[in-house]
């Protein structure tokens, strides 16, 4: 009887035993499952914890392709057209957004802002460094604060990865959406909206920034290959499905380009955009 029980115990232990390889695989799978629920900033932090987490973090970032939207200010009841926004408030908002809501590394930030905010920018108040000579005048100035104005790109790029490019348009009016999905049409006030595009695999979704100069000639005989080259050097074997145009005033060559797009793609392409006051890239 004892021998029979002993043999049964061995069978149970054998069925429940986990080899070292199985254990490592299980830990890896659990880590991947945890990483899938973390925003991108937390994934970056986890990659520094231990060597085994580094490749998991890298794979997690490579397989994320989420497009994000952001509106500022978050509370449109604080909207102003008289003064510039405090840079520290913008920094806090962007840092919180990136830490809690950003799931993919952006490769392109499309920024739409009002003329008012573009003109005023963000105010940065920083304490002046203590002077070398301690005269009465310099001692009184030791606590003085320097005022610095940062434009939209300068304020935003400080929070993004170095590879991210910023494309900014300035318009007399913008439409922004709050966290409660309430849309606001703003013409007089400081407001901005940002669309963050991640880097997609080229066989899924490619982003090709382009600029059509005012003296560009769009001939009637322009080939599809030449059109692709004009629109950001899109490879010939990749079909164009969406084009975002921004115009500064009426530009006949851009209109001719749109006609060519419709000629080669007919109903297979989406064309969006509009007339803006300024473009920066």
Residues 69 and 172 occupy one common structural domain:
yes
In this structure, are 26 and 91 located in the same domain? no
User: Do 33 and 103 belong together in one domain?
Assistant: no
CA gap 277, 263 in Å, rounded: 29
Please indicate, yes or no, whether residues 115 and 154 belong to a single structural domain of this protein. Answer: yes
Binned at pLDDT 50, 70 and 90, residue 86 comes out as: confident
Give the per-residue pLDDT at 225.
93
* pLDDT confidence of residue 11: 45
Strands ordered across the beta sheet of 145-150 = 85-86, 122-127, 145-150
Domain total for the chain? 3
Per-residue pLDDT band for 63 (boundaries 50, 70, 90) equals confident
Contact 184, 175 (CB under 8 A): yes
Q: How high is the pLDDT of residue 223? A: 92
9 in any annotated domain: no
- State pTM to two decimals: 0.70
- DSSP letter (8 states) at residue 131: P
Residue 109 has pLDDT above 90, yes or no: yes
Q: Can you read off the two tokens belonging to residue 214?
A: 């005012």
Does position 14 have pLDDT exceeding 60, yes or no?
A: no
Q: For the stretch 149-186, what's the b/e string if a residue is b when 16 or more beta carbons lie within 10 angstroms of its beta carbon?
A: ebbbbebbeeebeeebebbbbbbeebebeeeeeeeeeb
Same domain membership, residue 159 and residue 48: no
| pLDDT, position 32 | 79
Quick one: pLDDT at residue 226? 93
Does residue 116 lie in a domain region?
A: yes
The Cα 82–Cα 190 span in angstroms is 9
For residue 196, the model assigns a pLDDT of 92
> Mind listing the pLDDT tens digit for each residue in 122-148?
888 764 344 444 444 444 444 445 678
Q: 135 or 61, which is more confident?
A: 61
Tell me, yes or no, whether 82 and 154 share the same domain. yes
- Residue 100 resides in a domain: yes
Q: Tell me: do 71 and 85 sit in the same domain.
A: yes
The pLDDT-based confidence of 2 (bands split at 50, 70, 90) is: low
Provide mean pLDDT across the span 68-80.
Answer: 74
Percentage, residues of the chain above pLDDT 70:
77
Mean pLDDT of 46-54: 84
Domain membership flag for residue 73: yes
Distances (CA, A) of 142 to 43, 51, 65, 98, 134: 41, 46, 49, 35, 9
Asked if residue 8 belongs to a domain, the reply is no
Q: Is beta strand 192-198 parallel, antiparallel or unpaired with respect to 106-114? A: antiparallel
Look at residue 134 in the predicted model and tell me its pLDDT.
Answer: 45
User: For tokens 């348009």, what's the residue?
Assistant: 169
Question: Which of residues 34, 62, 90 is at a domain's end?
Answer: 62
Residue 3 forms part of a structural domain: no
pLDDT at 131: 43
85 or 155, greater pLDDT: 155
Tens-digit pLDDT profile for residues 190-229? 888 899 998 887 777 888 888 888 788 888 889 999 999 9
Residue 111 and residue 220 in one domain? no
Residue 195 sits in which domain range? 65-201
Q: Same domain for 194 and 91?
A: yes
In a domain, 170, yes or no: yes
DSSP 8-state secondary structure symbol assigned to residue 130: P
Report the candidate in 164, 201, 193 with the shortest Cα–Cα distance to residue 176.
193
Q: What is the pLDDT of residue 229?
A: 92
On whether both 145 and 260 belong to a single domain, the answer is: no
Of the three residues 31, 47, 62, the one that is the final residue of a domain is 62
What pLDDT, in 10s, does the model give residues 149-173? 888 999 999 999 888 989 999 988 7
Beta-bridged to residue 242, according to DSSP, are 270
Is residue 243 assigned to a domain? yes
Q: Could you tell me if 146 and 33 lie in one domain?
A: no
Average pLDDT over residues 52-66: 85
Res 148: pLDDT: 81
Confidence check: pLDDT of 81 > 60? no
pLDDT recorded at residue 110: 92
Give me the mean pLDDT over the 232-240 stretch. 88
């Amino acid at each position: 009887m004892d021998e029979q029980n002993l043999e049964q115990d061995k069978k149970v232990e054998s069925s429940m035993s986990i080899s070292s390889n199985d254990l490592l695989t299980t830990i890896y799978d659990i880590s991947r499952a945890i990483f899938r629920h973390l925003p991108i900033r937390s994934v970056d932090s986890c990659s520094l914890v231990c060597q085994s987490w580094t490749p998991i973090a890298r794979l997690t970032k490579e397989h994320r392709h989420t497009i994000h939207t952001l509106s500022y200010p978050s509370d449109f009841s604080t909207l102003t057209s008289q003064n510039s926004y405090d840079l520290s408030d913008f920094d806090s908002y962007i840092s919180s957004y990136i830490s809690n809501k950003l799931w993919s590394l952006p490769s392109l930030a499309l920024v739409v802002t009002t003329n008012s905010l573009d003109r005023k920018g963000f105010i940065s108040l920083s304490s002046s460094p203590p002077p070398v000579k301690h005269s009465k005048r310099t001692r009184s100035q030791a606590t003085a604060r320097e005022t610095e104005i940062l434009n939209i790109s300068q304020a935003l790029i400080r929070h993004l990865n170095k590879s991210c490019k910023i494309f900014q348009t300035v318009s007399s009016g913008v439409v922004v959406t709050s966290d409660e999905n309430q849309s606001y049409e703003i013409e007089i006030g400081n407001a901005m909206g940002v669309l963050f595009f991640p880097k997609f695999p080229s066989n899924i979704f490619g982003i090709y920034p382009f600029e059509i100069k005012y003296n560009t000639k769009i001939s009637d005989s322009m080939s599809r290959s030449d059109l692709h080259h004009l629109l950001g050097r899109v490879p010939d074997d990749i079909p164009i499905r969406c084009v975002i145009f921004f115009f500064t005033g009426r530009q006949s060559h851009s209109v001719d380009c749109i006609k060519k797009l419709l000629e080669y793609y007919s109903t297979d392409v989406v064309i969006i955009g509009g007339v803006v006051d300024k473009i920066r890239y």
